[in-house]
């Protein structure tokens, strides 16, 4: 339980993003990294899997994302490798034939998309079709074919390979296992002779270290979400409803270009400040309580994840301040220690979790005189990226380019008092950059902002 991440789950160095990002559009529209970046990822995946099989990934269909109630959202693994954000697409990568021992190379890369459907386009707008003359230029794939050709092409590709790398397991907590099972069934139907292998781990390793373009998009998500929290700090007061604060925050980050929340907003006051997954947001806040706001937006597919805990009336009571400052002290201790070579989870002296836990367990007491470590009931960190809980091996060392949260908390139901402080950090060669540093964290800064001075 200790390491369950929260949802369902200072050395501040800076990293100069030197890469040319000129091909990315201005903030506000959906921004995508240059198509060459996605091509490079596909080539690397073939190298990393040793070229001993073809790779097939399916994008989501409208039906996979409950399209009648929400906009289309692409399968994150598929988006990471293609940059393609339309439903019903398939990717096929075929390695070049190579002698044993030689490095594997990408041979063919084919994107399958549906052909024009004029009656459907009256509802959903013009779509790229495989026979459009700009299909290659707009997708970055050497070849774009009609989806109906996929089965024939896969059979042909399997004359030189007997293995198909594909998604056989779902992103933990995504609730999408049915999708991988469905797609694997499709593949077994098309190519019963092929051995299926899971592509999740090699892609997870690639996704752990962010590209300069991904870091730009995460920064945009963080900045918009910081503004949402600043707006909330000015609006929280006794009598405000939790859903009003959630709505204000969502409005704020979406008007800055975020497409949707990174996860269901959590605004929990009073006793509900101690309930980790509370997303009812249906209570009226009372004088003298705290409110935990775990709310953040997603920008062009990239998430942020930020929590602040506020005194509803603008002033922490002495007990609220005491607990808040212990959580802040734990966060600062972990932030100071975070750098390449450390670990997010338990790892002796190199474990950031232990640093935060030990701080909490050696400061303050509960109402029965017991140490507070037992009330830190979730993990300290998780990576963010295309998923709010991005794939990563928790036993992997931190490396420059990783982006993770830092989110200690203490939850005391008996006192109706929960405090979580959650920030997003980029690992850089000498330490970290606190991406959400514009958002106040100390008691004094928060009280000042809430008083409007
Ligand atoms: N908001 C999800 C999490 O903190 O992990
Ligand atoms: Mn988190
Ligand atoms: Mn969170």
Answer whether 407 contacts ligand 1 (Cβ < 6 A): yes
Distance separating alpha carbons of residues 230 and 246, to the nearest angstrom: 13
Task: Give the distance (Å) from ligand 1 centre to CA of residue 158.
Answer: 42
Give, for ligand 1, the residue of 8, 294, 378, 385 to mutate: max count of ligand atoms closer than 8 Å to Cβ: 294
Question: Could you tell me the end-to-end alpha-carbon distance of the chain, in angstroms, rounded to an integer?
Answer: 42
* Mean pLDDT of the region 37-42: 98
pLDDT greater than 80 at residue 19: no
Contact predicate 24/33, CB 8 Å? yes
Q: What is the pLDDT of residue 247?
A: 98
* Residues that place a CB less than 5 A from ion ligand 2: 6, 305, 405
Kindly give the number of the ligand 1 atom that is closest to the alpha carbon of 378.
5
Answer whether 6 contacts ligand 1 (Cβ < 6 A): yes
Answer whether 335 contacts ligand 1 (Cβ < 6 A): no
Nearest protein Cα to ligand 1, atom 1: 7
How many residues does the structure list for the chain? 453
Helix (H) or strand (E) holding 202: helix 200-208
* Mean pLDDT of the region 87-99: 94
Answer whether 5 contacts ligand 1 (Cβ < 6 A): yes
Kindly give the number of the ligand 1 atom that is closest to the alpha carbon of 263.
1
Task: Give the distance (Å) from ligand 1 centre to CA of residue 6.
Answer: 5
- pLDDT band at residue 124, thresholds of 50, 70 and 90? confident
Kindly give the number of the ligand 1 atom that is closest to the alpha carbon of 296.
1
Contact predicate 275/238, CB 8 Å? no
Q: What is the pLDDT of residue 345?
A: 87
Domains of the chain: 34-207 (3.40.350.10), 212-451 (3.90.230.10)
pLDDT greater than 50 at residue 8: no
pLDDT greater than 90 at residue 360: yes
Contact predicate 353/379, CB 8 Å? yes
Distance separating alpha carbons of residues 422 and 406, to the nearest angstrom: 6
pLDDT greater than 60 at residue 361: yes
Helix (H) or strand (E) holding 118: helix 118-124
* Residues that place a CB less than 5 A from ion ligand 3: 294, 305, 422
Q: What is the pLDDT of residue 68?
A: 67
Q: What is the mean pLDDT of the chain?
A: 91
Distance separating alpha carbons of residues 351 and 341, to the nearest angstrom: 10
Answer whether 296 contacts ligand 1 (Cβ < 6 A): no
Nearest protein Cα to ligand 1, atom 2: 7
| pLDDT > 70 fraction of the chain, expressed in percent and rounded | 92
pLDDT greater than 50 at residue 20: no
| pLDDT > 90 fraction of the chain, expressed in percent and rounded | 81
Kindly give the number of the ligand 1 atom that is closest to the alpha carbon of 407.
4
The strand pairing partners of 309, in sequence order, are 292
Answer whether 305 contacts ligand 1 (Cβ < 6 A): yes
pLDDT digits (tens, 9 = 90+) for 318-351: 999 999 999 999 999 999 999 999 999 889 899 9
Answer whether 422 contacts ligand 1 (Cβ < 6 A): yes
pLDDT digits (tens, 9 = 90+) for 245-283: 999 999 999 999 999 999 999 999 999 999 999 989 999
Minimum mean pLDDT range among 102-106, 122-126, 165-169, 228-232: 122-126
Contact predicate 407/380, CB 8 Å? yes
Contact predicate 156/369, CB 8 Å? no
Answer whether 388 contacts ligand 1 (Cβ < 6 A): yes
pLDDT greater than 70 at residue 4: no
- pLDDT band at residue 17, thresholds of 50, 70 and 90? very low
List the strands of the sheet with 90-95, edge to edge. Answer: 143-146, 106-113, 90-95, 54-58, 163-166, 195-198
Task: Give the distance (Å) from ligand 1 centre to CA of residue 410.
Answer: 15
Identify how many contiguous H helices and E strands the chain contains and give both numbers: 12, 17
- pLDDT band at residue 235, thresholds of 50, 70 and 90? very high
Ligand whose nearest atom lies closest to the CA of 381: 2
- pLDDT band at residue 161, thresholds of 50, 70 and 90? confident
- The residues, any chain, with a CB within 8 Å of residue 257's CB and separated by 6 or more, are 27, 28, 29, 220, 224, 299, 300
CA distances from 119 to 72, 115, 123, 125 (A): 19, 12, 7, 10
Answer whether 278 contacts ligand 1 (Cβ < 6 A): no
């Amino acid at each position: 339980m200790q390491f369950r991440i929260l949802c369902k789950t200072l050395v501040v160095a800076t990293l100069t993003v030197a890469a040319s990002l000129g091909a990315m559009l201005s903030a506000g529209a959906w921004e995508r990294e240059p198509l060459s970046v996605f091509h490079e990822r596909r080539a690397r995946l073939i190298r990393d899997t040793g070229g001993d099989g073809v790779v097939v990934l399916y994008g989501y269909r409208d039906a996979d994302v409950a399209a009648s109630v929400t906009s289309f959202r692409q399968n994150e693994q598929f988006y990471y490798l293609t940059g393609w954000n339309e439903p019903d697409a398939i990717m096929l990568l075929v390695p070049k034939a190579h002698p044993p021992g030689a490095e594997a190379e990408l041979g063919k890369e084919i994107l399958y998309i549906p052909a024009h459907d004029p009656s459907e386009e009256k509802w959903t707008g013009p779509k790229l079709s495989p026979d459009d003359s700009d299909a290659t230029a707009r997708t970055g794939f050497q070849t774009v074919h009609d989806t109906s050709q996929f089965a024939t092409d896969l059979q042909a590709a399997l004359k030189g390979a007997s293995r198909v790398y594909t998604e056989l397991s779902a992103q933990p907590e995504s609730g999408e296992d049915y999708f991988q099972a469905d797609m694997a069934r499709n593949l077994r139907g098309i190519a019963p002779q092929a051995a299926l292998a899971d592509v999740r781990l090699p892609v997870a390793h690639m996704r752990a270290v962010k590209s300069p373009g991904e870091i730009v998009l995460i920064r945009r998500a963080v900045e918009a979400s910081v503004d949402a929290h600043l707006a909330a700090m000015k609006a929280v007061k006794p009598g405000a409803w939790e859903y009003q604060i959630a709505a204000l925050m969502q409005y704020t980050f979406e008007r800055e270009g975020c497409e949707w929340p990174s996860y269901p907003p959590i605004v929990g006051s009073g006793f509900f400040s101690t309930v980790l997954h509370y997303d009812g947001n249906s209570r009226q806040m009372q004088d003298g309580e705290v409110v935990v706001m775990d709310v953040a937006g997603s920008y062009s597919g990239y998430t942020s994840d930020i929590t602040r805990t506020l005194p509803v009336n603008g002033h922490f009571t002495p007990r609220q301040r005491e607990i808040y400052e212990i959580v802040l002290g734990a966060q600062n201790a972990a932030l100071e220690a975070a750098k390449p070579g450390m670990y997010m989870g338990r790892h002796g002296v190199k474990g950031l979790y232990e640093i935060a836990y030990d701080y909490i367990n050696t400061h303050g007491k509960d109402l029965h005189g017991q140490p507070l470590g037992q009330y830190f009931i979730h993990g300290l960190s998780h990576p963010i990226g295309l998923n709010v809980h991005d794939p990563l091996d928790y036993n992997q060392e931190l490396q420059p380019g990783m982006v993770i949260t830092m989110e200690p908390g203490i939850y005391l139901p008996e006192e109706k008092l929960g405090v979580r402080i959650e920030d997003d950090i980029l690992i850089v060669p000498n330490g970290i950059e606190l991406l959400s540093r514009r958002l106040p964290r100390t008691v004094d800064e928060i009280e000042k902002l809430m008083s409007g001075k």
